[in-house]
Structure 1
Amino acid sequence: KSDAGGVLLNLADAAAVAAGYEQIMAAVAAAQPEADLHGVLVGPMVRGGTEAFVSISRQAPFGLGLMLGAGGIYVELLGEPELALLPLDRPAIAGLLARSPLGRLLGGYRGRPAGDSDTLIETIYQLCRLAGAYAGQIDTIELNPIAVLPAGRGVFVLDALILTTTQP
Structure 2
Amino acid sequence: MSLRFVDASRQRPRRALTMIEITLAVGLLAAAILPVLTLTMRSTQQTYAMEQHIMASQFAAGILDRYLAMPFKVCADAIRSESYPQKVCETETFKDAIETGESFSEALQHTFRDFEYEVTVSEPSSAGERGEMFKITVTVSWPGNPGAPPARQFSLNAVKFNENP
User: TM-score, with normalisation over the residues of structure 2?
Assistant: 0.34
Provide TM-score, normalisation by structure 1: 0.33
Name the structure with the higher helix share: 2
Q: Higher strand proportion, which one?
A: 1
Greater Rg over alpha carbons, structure: 2
